[in-house]
Amino acid sequence: MKKNTSETKKLSIKNFKYDKTGLIPAIIQDYKTGEVLMLAYMNMESIKRTVKLGKTCFWSRSRKEYWVKGETSGNFQFVKSVAYDCDADALLIKVRQIGVACHTGNRSCFYRKIQ
């Protein structure tokens, strides 16, 4: 069993495993409670923008443009940490959420359950 240590080699964002369209899924989680707030997609540029701004920036697959969470709603996500999984094909971004995360008005996009 491989040990989980901070000495593990860090990857450059260029080496993440993006899909064929250049995107990687990003799970957004409340840094205090651990609640999963949403899932969105990022590319290399939106990751760079997120790190630079300190707020989440995503790539809209439908509108084909960048968007900063909260720009129109005021429900910003202030980034506390960005991690990637063992396969480097998904991100986990811990944030301080202002207001709600979901466009429906719910705190989390994961408010519905399978019966």
- Whichever domain contains 62, its CATH number is 3.10.20.810
Domains in the chain: how many in total?
Answer: 1
Residue 91 domain-assigned (yes or no): yes
Asked if the structure places residue 64 within a domain, the reply is yes
Q: How far is CA 31 from the centre of its chain?
A: 12
Strand partners, 60: 65
Contacts of 41 (CB under 8 A, 6+ apart): 23, 24, 25, 26, 58, 59, 61
Asked whether residue 107 is assigned to any structural domain, the reply reads no
So what's the pLDDT on residue 55? 98
Q: What is the model's pLDDT at position 6?
A: 52
Q: What is the share, in percent, of the chain residues with pLDDT greater than 70?
A: 93
Within-domain flag for 105: no
The whole-model pTM stands at 0.90
Query: 24: domain range?
Result: 20-97
